[in-house]
Amino acid sequence: MRIHFIGIGGIGMSSLAQYYHEKGHQVFGSDLVSSEITELLKEKGVGITIGQYEQNIKEDFDLVIYSPAVPAENSEYKRALELDLRIQSYPEALGELTKQYFTIAVSGSHGKSTTTALISLILLKAKLDPTVILGTKLKEFGDSNFRMGKSNFLVIEACEYDDSFNNYQPKITVVTNIDKEHLDYFKTFANVVKAFKKFILKLPEDGFLVANKDDLGIKKVINSKFASSNQFSIKQFSIKHSDAKKLRKILKIPGDHNVSNALASLELARILNVKDEISFKALSEYRGSWRRFEIKEGHAEKKHIIIVSDYGHHPNEVSATLIATREKYPKKKIWLVYQPHQYQRTHYLFSDFVKVFRGVKIDEILITEIYDVAGREEKQISSSVSSESLVKRINKKNVRYMNFELVENFIKENIKAGDILVVMGAGDIYKLADKF
């Protein structure tokens, strides 16, 4: 088949594109800007075009897959409709694959990528040879966000945004937590909970649910009535369990949130009859992934510093990562450069962000402009919220707004040798970490 991806640079889209490429199909794709991901795809032999134009869509394409972020007025999308080509959204296309495999779907408001990575590495260590569609790049996958396996196991991330995960047909569903996330789509937390419940109920009678017993959001779904009225098996994990103590000793990634992610992976492995010794070995060897508490050594004007690059962009993710940073570096001076992700998220969770930044034990905090997510912002909200207003409300001397272009020089001039620099956000802020 000849397959074209509109928005191929997205983390999920690029992983699916690699799947089809590995299967021997001719794969093409376009995106608005070049990135590490598009360069990775080029190296693998995928036909990449930067810029989206109707001439990119050919009459002989067998399938056009588009990112949910692509607006209806996109020229390539409109051209595909005009040519009456077969069109699928990313969740629809991935949903088709989940029917062909024994699918393990990792869902949750936070921790999906780390948990998916941990599960994948356990299955690899157990010689179960999974195919993996991942939301981050793993060194173990050759710095890729995809792995082609030969077995019938498929491990995927299942995102709740736009009810995407309801396209999937898993045999095992993992839920790390349920939180106030993607409120631009769901509007209320109650709607988030309803969406997760609907997704969980897609499990077959012989399926399994692996869920976080400690999470308040999950408790709204899994009660005694829910457990007794469904045929699939429910396995719950808790940070209060004795396994957590052992994991704290062996994990190289810090923080209770990562202990919880590891517990989910361990519970999943036990369902598949993987021996604990194999699981613990795999978990102990995991050193993190791209932009998930990724630790690098760097230099600022010849001063040696430690850089932590992290994807966190929700208040609870920011808090968990910064608590973990302070635990790992208790006596170091810690700098944070944070790029808020999406005007709507900043608007809906404004008070939560204020609370987090007022409470974290970080020495210097620089907040840059909000990263504008194309196709997902409402103009009215975009004009009503800003990083400056967030910093003003936080009202702490060590928290300041700074234009993205000025941050690099400010850090270089003021950071001291041995300091820790945390670069955080889901937008293009990771490029700052690369400059050191």
Global pTM reads 0.84
pLDDT at 223: 81
| 376: pLDDT strictly greater than 70 | no
List pLDDT tens digits, range 241-290: 999 999 999 999 988 999 999 999 999 999 999 999 999 999 999 988 88
181 vs 243: which has the higher pLDDT:
243
List pLDDT tens digits, range 334-346: 999 999 999 999 9
List pLDDT tens digits, range 6-48: 999 998 999 999 999 999 999 999 999 888 899 999 999 999 9
List pLDDT tens digits, range 359-375: 999 999 999 999 987 66
pLDDT at 375: 62
pLDDT at 279: 98
List pLDDT tens digits, range 107-153: 999 999 999 999 999 999 999 999 999 988 888 898 889 999 999 99
pLDDT at 80: 97
pLDDT at 48: 96
SS (H, E, C) the chain: CEEEEECCCCHHHHHHHHHHHHCCCEEEEEECCCCHHHHHHHHCCCEEEECCCHHHCCCCCCEEEECCCCCCCCHHHHHHHHCCCCEEEHHHHHHHHHCCCEEEEEECCCCHHHHHHHHHHHHHHCCCCCEEEEEEEEHHHCCEEEECCCCCEEEEECCCHHHHHHHCCCCEEEECCCCCCCHHHHCCHHHHHHHHHHHHCCCCCCCEEEEECCCHHHHCCCCHHHHHCCCCEEEEECCCCHHHHHHHHHCCCCCHHHHHHHHHHHHHHHHCCCCHHHHHHHHHHCCCECCECEEEEEEECCEEEEEEEECCCCHHHHHHHHHHHHHHCCCCCEEEEECCECHHHHHHCHHHHHHHHHHCCCCEEEECCCECCCCCCCHHHHCCCCHHHHHHHHCCCCEEECCHHHHHHHHHHHCCCCCEEEEECCCCCHHHHHCC
List pLDDT tens digits, range 94-116: 999 999 999 999 999 999 999 99
pLDDT at 290: 80
pLDDT at 137: 86
| 230: pLDDT strictly greater than 80 | no
| 190: pLDDT strictly greater than 90 | yes
- The band of 382, judged by pLDDT with boundaries at 50, 70 and 90, is low
pLDDT at 379: 64
Summarize the confidence of residues 310-323 as an average pLDDT.
Answer: 91
pLDDT at 247: 97
pLDDT at 170: 98
The share of the chain scoring above pLDDT 90, in percent, equals 79
| 229: pLDDT strictly greater than 80 | no
| 378: pLDDT strictly greater than 70 | no
What the chain holds in terms of domains, given with CATH numbers, is: 2-90 (3.40.50.720), 99-285 (3.40.1190.10), 294-434 (3.90.190.20)
Summarize the confidence of residues 231-247 as an average pLDDT.
Answer: 94
Q: Among 112-126, 229-243, 288-302, where is mean pLDDT lowest?
A: 288-302
List pLDDT tens digits, range 42-76: 999 999 999 999 999 999 999 999 998 898 999 99
The share of the chain scoring above pLDDT 70, in percent, equals 97
Summarize the confidence of residues 307-318 as an average pLDDT.
Answer: 92
Q: Chain-wide mean pLDDT for the chain? A: 93
